[in-house]
Chain A
Amino acid sequence: SQTIHQWPATLVQPVGSPLSLECTVEGTSNPNLYWYRQAAGRGLQLLFYSVGIGQISSEVPQNLSASRPQDRQFILSSKKLLLSDSGFYLCAWSAPGQGALTYEQYFGPGTRLTVT
């Protein structure tokens, strides 16, 4: 069965410090991968998605970036965090390609980031 992992679970970082959040998926190959941010316990904002290694689409311009160095690894980064980067970051995967049966997404447990 497929599982998705995120770490760390919680993170407190000062303004201006770098960020690296990691997401890995097991049990599937070539998944579509997604990074979302959820602020104030509400609303999911799609930040990035990837349909393959090295292929990243950005939905919202900001000081965050994403990379996919391996098939089942998705990393969210920042060189300098802002206060407004605080939130709950969720990684998700869906079945690969455009021939998926139903396109549903499966979410990881999330990372709570507090920028101080």
Chain B
Amino acid sequence: GEDVEQSLFLSVREGDSSVINCTYTDSSSTYLYWYKQEPGAGLQLLTYIFSNMDMKQDQRLTVLLNKKDKHLSLRIADTQTGDSAIYFCAEKQNSGYSTLTFGKGTMLLVSP
């Protein structure tokens, strides 16, 4: 089956690290993505990881993939108030279609 699960809400203080978690069910997933949505706007691709990787780092963002447990996480270091947004996890199955399956999103609230 195709299902992507995320916790709905995370609150952190400015300067702390944020960790947003995601689980997926399709072991054939090839690519996994993190998107950010600011209020009233479309989704912005933050980063992605290929399924044969364990970790990917891009500036303040670190993506960890545990393929055995089908668990993906996004760590944001030194979280800023501008990081407040909804973060979506998405997976691409190993099929002939180009569609992605998105989680319901985690709302990150950063307080000063």
Interface, chain A (partner B; CB < 8 A): 32, 34, 41-44, 46, 49, 51, 59, 90, 92, 94, 98, 100, 102-110, 112
Contact call A110/B41, Cβ cutoff below 8 A = yes
Contact call B102/A90, Cβ cutoff below 8 A = no
Asked if B75 CB lies within 8 Å of chain A CBs, one says no
Interface residues contributed by chain B, number (CB under 8 Å): 24
Q: Once the chains are docked, how many angstroms separate the CA of A90 from the CA of B105?
A: 15
Q: List 18 additional A-B contacts (Cβ < 8 Å) besides A92-B43, A105-B100, A110-B41.
A: A32-B98, A41-B86, A42-B86, A43-B105, A44-B43, A49-B99, A98-B96, A98-B98, A100-B98, A102-B31, A102-B48, A102-B50, A103-B98, A104-B33, A106-B45, A107-B35, A109-B42, A112-B40
Contact call A42/B42, Cβ cutoff below 8 A = no
A44-B86 contact, Cβ under 8 Å, with A105-B45, A109-B41? no
Q: Once the chains are docked, how many angstroms separate the CA of A16 from the CA of B35?
A: 34
Asked if B104 CB lies within 8 Å of chain A CBs, one says yes
